[in-house]
């Protein structure tokens, strides 16, 4: 092995703090992989499948991808109270797969929440890191979205179509937090643990998780796909450094809150948001 390759491997090992330490499990690798497949198919894996079908459908359309729209946080009913009920139920049920992931890991250790780093023991540093990561990911991500859309490689993302209600902003904030909890607990904390317990190589775990993350954003177009893969690689690497999911949830929450609430308040005033 050349000195350059040894140096590169040493740098990667230092960045990732060596092998991921995971709890001992009584289950064989095949059972662990099956478990992750089922949990994904109940949540983000199913979203990835539908997203792949969605991009195929979009590419088959006579309307170019750059002139299509993808709507997030859509209204579900004409009556305000019923629409609110739909939104609240959707947010509540949407976080259940993350709770299941914590429960499954928690059967093998004393506290699943503490293992995932979902406690308040390092809250100030978690908040600071989360805010820093949000800035580092969000600004380039916005540029990537605009460029990809203008090149016809991405749809126009309508981040909110809830209309103007007293509950619109609180629901958008809650939806952003739900997305963050679901994705970071399942895609990072849970998958990294289970795939490592099953004997997966660390780089395969990180890249595989990032690819799935990108896949369930394909409905937005190829800009969303690439951007979320990069986001997954960054957040996965941060997790391997910190061994805490909470900073990732904070990062993701900030990104989605700015996107959802910002779009809701500004889309009528900023031309490139339309």
pLDDT tens for 50-72 read 999 999 999 999 999 999 999 99
**Contact status, residue 227 vs residue 113, Cβ threshold 8 Å:** no
pLDDT tens-digit profile of 208-246? 999 999 999 999 999 999 999 999 999 999 999 999 999
| Closest of 153, 143, 122, 142 to residue 250, by C-alpha | 122
User: Averaged over 192-220, what is the pLDDT?
Assistant: 96
Domain for residue 13, yes or no? no
In a domain, 142, yes or no: yes
pLDDT of residue 269: 63
Reply yes or no on whether the pLDDT at 7 is more than 60: no
At 127, the pLDDT band (50, 70, 90 cuts) reads: very high
| 138 and 255 Cβ atoms separated by less than 8 Å | yes
DSSP per residue over 19-37, as a string? SPP----SS-HHHHHHHHH
Which candidate, 59, 75, 78, 79, places its Cα nearest to that of 67?
59
> SS3 of 160, please?
coil
Indicate yes or no: pTM above 0.85: yes
Residue 267 lies in a domain: yes
Specify the pLDDT at position 263: 85
Per-residue pLDDT averaged across 186-203, rounded? 95
Query: How many distinct structural domains can be found in the chain?
Result: 1
Q: Tell me, yes or no, whether 59 lies in a domain.
A: no
pLDDT at 271: 61
Domain interval for residue 115? 73-273
DSSP state of 186: I
Q: What percent of the chain has pLDDT over 70?
A: 90
Taking all residues of the chain, what is their mean pLDDT, rounded to a whole number? 91
pLDDT at 132 over 80: yes
Assess whether pLDDT exceeds 60 at residue 13: no
3 within domain boundaries: no
| pLDDT (mean) for 252-273 | 82
Confidence category of residue 16, pLDDT binned at 50, 70, 90 = low
Give per-residue burial for 212-232: e unless 16+ CB within 10 Å, then b.
Answer: bbbbbbbbbbbbbbbbbbbbb
Tell me how crowded residue 170 is: count the other CB atoms within 10 A of its CB.
Answer: 14
**Mean pLDDT score, 72-87:** 95
Distance CA 34, CA 38 (A): 6
| Contact (CB, 8 A) for 245 and 117 | yes
């Amino acid at each position: 092995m050349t000195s350059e390759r040894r140096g590169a491997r040493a740098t990667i090992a230092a960045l990732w703090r060596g092998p991921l330490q995971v709890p001992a499990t009584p289950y064989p690798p095949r059972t662990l992989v099956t478990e992750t497949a089922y949990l994904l198919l109940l949540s983000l894996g199913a979203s990835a499948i539908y997203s792949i079908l969605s991009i195929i459908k979009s590419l088959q359309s006579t309307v170019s991808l750059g002139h299509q729209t993808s709507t997030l946080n859509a209204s579900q009913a004409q009556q305000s109270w019923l629409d609110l009920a739909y939104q609240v139920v959707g947010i509540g049920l949407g976080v259940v797969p993350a709770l299941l992931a914590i429960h499954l890991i928690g059967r093998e250790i004393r506290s699943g929440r503490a293992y995932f780093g979902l406690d308040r023991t390092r809250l100030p540093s978690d908040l600071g890191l989360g805010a820093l990561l949000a800035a580092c990911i969000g600004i380039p991500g916005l540029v990537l979205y605009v460029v990809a859309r203008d090149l016809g490689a991405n749809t126009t993302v309508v981040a909110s179509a809830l209309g103007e209600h007293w509950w619109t902003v609180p629901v958008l904030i809650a939806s952003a937090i739900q997305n963050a909890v679901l994705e970071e607990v399942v895609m990072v904390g849970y998958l990294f643990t289970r795939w490592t317990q099953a004997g997966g190589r660390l780089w395969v775990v990180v890249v595989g998780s990032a690819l799935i993350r990108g896949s369930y954003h394909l409905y937005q177009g190829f800009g969303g796909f690439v951007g979320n893969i990069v986001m997954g690689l960054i957040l996965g690497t941060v997790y391997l450094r910190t061994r805490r999911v909470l900073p990732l949830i904070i990062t993701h929450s900030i990104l989605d809150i700015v996107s959802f609430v910002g779009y809701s308040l500004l889309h009528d005033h900023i031309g490139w948001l339309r």
